[in-house]
Amino acid sequence: MARLVDSALYAAAALGVAYSLGLEYSSYYTPSAPAFWLPMVVLEALFLSRLGTTPGKWLMGIRLASLLGSPRISFGRALLRSALVFFLGTGLMMFPVGLVMMLFSYWSLRSRGICLWDARATTLPVQPAKSGAGRFAGAAITIYLALTAAGLFMQPWIPTMLDEVEKQSPDAARQLRELMQFQLPGTQQGNTPTIPQPKE
């Protein structure tokens, strides 16, 4: 849940920056591309080395402790951990590779008591108290709001994204367009409204 919160917040922030800069659509900086998530690896390492936690971990009452007894985790160790999580824990955020790697990580944690990235970085997540319903509710609300914002920031790219989908599968693009159609005052049924572009 903590990682879902961090991922949703990062996606909203990254897409918000792209929206504010008026960047044109590119498949390299959409959430479906592994390159989109690479800056999150560095940001997560910064949070862990400076604060010992991330927004998602903080929300769930988790902090990262050092197995070496040092009060703080170095940026290098935090970066190693974040990179290993990105490659081995989430499978580069690619479906279905990510799902397989998450299941493997869960099996590794259950059988060994520690994940590979924590063993290599000599770190250990610590949760003093179990997460209650309030923490899970807060996490769910945060994820919802962040993903809603991310979707709004991606609106200017939707026409181009649909064109890209149509090149691969015209039927899929047609179905997506039908799902996106809705009726506004002064428009005819079946017309897709114009998506607002960011102001310069």
Q: How confident is the model at residue 190 (pLDDT cuts 50, 70, 90)?
A: very low
| pLDDT for the residue 97 | 86
Task: Tell me the average pLDDT across 154-176.
Answer: 82
Q: How confident is the model at residue 129 (pLDDT cuts 50, 70, 90)?
A: confident
Q: Where are the domains of the chain?
A: 2-153, 157-200
Task: Tell me the average pLDDT across 13-37.
Answer: 90
When comparing pLDDT for 180 and 40, which is higher? 40
Which token pair is 42? Answer: 């560095």
Q: How confident is the model at residue 182 (pLDDT cuts 50, 70, 90)?
A: very low
